[in-house]
Every structure is written in C-alpha cells, then in structure tokens.
Amino acid sequence: MRKFVVALCLAFGLIFGPMPGWAQDRIRVVTTTTDLRSLTEAVGGEFVEAVSLVPANFDAEEYQPKPQDVLRLKEARLVVRVGLDYDLWFDRLLEAARQRDLRRGGEGYVDASFAIAPLEVRGVAVGPGDGHAHGSGNPHYWLDPKNAEFITANILEGLARIDPLHAKAYESNRSAFLARLSAKLTEWEAKLTQLRTTPVVAYHNSWPYFARRFRLDFIDFLEIKPGVPSTPSHLAGIIEKMQARNVRLVVREPHEPERDVAFVAAKTGASVVVLATSVGALPGTGDYLALFDTDVAALVNAAGSR
C-alpha cells in the first residue's frame, strides 16, 4: 500500500508538476494586474514570487477568470488588488478559491487603493450595456506615479504581516524604489512641461490621475461613457470640439479599437499617440518606471512632430 501511495504521488507530480512561475522558497503573491505585480516585486525583492492574473494588453474590467487562476490563489499567501470597483470579478474568484486568509479582512488580503484620494467620485447607477461602474471614483490611480507611495505602503504592510521576519528588508526595498521614483518623477515633469497647454482627446477616460500629476488637458473622450463606444453624433461633436480647440493629439491604448481614433484624427489632422496604462502593454514597459518612461517619451515625440 505504501509503495502505491508513493507511486501515486510521483505520478501526480509528473502529470501536474509545480505551479508555473512559482519559486518554491518565496512568498507567493497573486496580483490582479501587471502594475501591482511590478510594484510587489519592487517591495518584495528576492523574497517574493509574484504573478498577475490580467494580461497586460487586456481591459481588466472585462476580465473573465480562468480555472488556473483559482489554482494560483490556492498556492498564494498574499493577494493584491486594484480596488475602487476596477476588479470586481476578483471577489468571485476569491470565493471560489476558498482561502479564508485571502478574502477581505484576511491576513493575506491587500487592497492597493487604501488611502488613495480617488478622483471623479460620483453616485451612478449602471445597467446592462451601460458601461463600467465607476461610482467609487476613477480607478486608474496607479497612473499618477506619486500614488505609488501609497500602493507600495499597502503592499509593504501586507508582506510584513505575513512575513515579519523580512519586514526590514521590505522597508529597505521600498525606500530604494521610492528614491528611484522621485528622481524619475522630476525628469518626467521636466519633459512634459511643454505639453501643459496642449489639449488632448483620448479614447477611454484612463487619464485623470496622469493628467493631474503632469498638468495635461484631456478635454474629451471618444467613449460616450466608460465601456460605451461612440455613436456617429458623438464623434461629430468630438470633431467639432477638436477643431475649435485645435487639438492635435489623440490618445489610444494598445487594446482599444483603432477605427474611431483614426477617423477623428484624419478629420482634424491630429496625430494618434498609443500609450500604455499597464506594465508590459507596449515594448519597453517591462516595469512600473519603464511604463512612464515609455509614455512620456511617446507624448514628447508626438508633440515635437506637430
């Protein structure tokens, strides 16, 4: 009987193997997005092995969890989510995983939006087909790099809670990361100074935190509301506004449809700028700092070509 059990265990290991991406001696962390994964890695360093659920080039609000996501959660000791109604599907996934410590209020649960001052908070009722519910505020807060101070503080607290032995190392990692971020922020602000009076139109309202930090002027969006595509009359109004304000830049994210963006750009003579909102969404955006390096460079190049 003992030999049978040993053989069964060996067979199970050969068939299924360890979870892909997990290192056997590290804290296993699951994040909902690539941005949170990058920031978790910055704080956790060599002591964590983090995986993200939503692919970089995908709208996280539309993500449909997969069976392997449940398996990842069963192996995790910490989860980190965006919050602000951005990843509502994550609650159902946590229920399916049946890991009490990972649920809201659990030792291994981190809502990265804690202490963030949300923008565009309003009470809204969203029905089927009416777009995304953003009543808790615009959820794209990680696009203000200063908010990384709060995000990494929340991650640090979560890691120290489940792994107090390495709390000092996590604090040191976070301090070193914030020092690099501070130097980069000064650089990004200097580069974007020339765009402060430039009106911009975007496809989706992902940019209020980015715009506030760098004093940019996003005057309108091609979506009627988040998640609801344009109508011909709405596009006509956008074109009229762009002509009146002499808008020369239209921003699109890599996963967003090109047709409407190309149409208004052609009608107004504007340039289309593809910007990433997530780590890994464009070449060169392999981590959180590189995300802003790439987006700032794209905006500066587009403005310089006008």
Look at residue 7 and tell me if it is in a domain.
no
**Cα dihedral 185, 143, 48, 159 in deg (nearest 10):** 90
What confidence score (pLDDT) does residue 3 get? Answer: 44
Q: What is the DSSP letter of 164?
A: G
**What is the DSSP-derived secondary structure letter of residue 19?**
P
pLDDT, residue 305, reads 66
Shared-domain flag, residues 195 and 261: yes
**49 and 146 fall within a common domain:** yes
Domain shared by 76 and 209, yes or no: no
Residues with pLDDT less than 50, the chain: 1-21, 124-131
The answer to whether residue 6 is domain-embedded is no
Query: For residues 131 and 26, what is the distance between their CA atoms, to the nearest angstrom?
Result: 39
Residues 59 and 204 in one domain: no
Within a domain: 9? no
What residue numbers bound the domain in which 201 lies?
186-304
Tally of domains within the chain: 2
Tell me, yes or no, whether 67 lies in a domain: yes
The one-letter amino acid code at 180 reads: R
CB 110 within 8 A of CB 157: yes
As a whole number of angstroms, the distance between CA 87 and CA 33 comes to 9
Does any domain span residue 54? yes
Is residue 128 assigned to a domain?
yes
Taken in order 168, 172, 178, 182, the sign of the CA dihedral is positive
Residue 136 lies in a domain: yes
Among residues 201, 92, 81, which one has the least CA distance to residue 142? Answer: 81
Same domain for 35 and 135, yes or no, is: yes
Based on the domain organization, do 115 and 231 belong to the same domain?
no
- Give yes or no: residues 124 and 171 share one domain: yes
Of 161, 182, 203, which residue constitutes the final position of a domain?
A: 182
Are residues 126 and 236 located together in one domain of the fold?
no
CATH number of domain containing 280: 3.40.50.1980
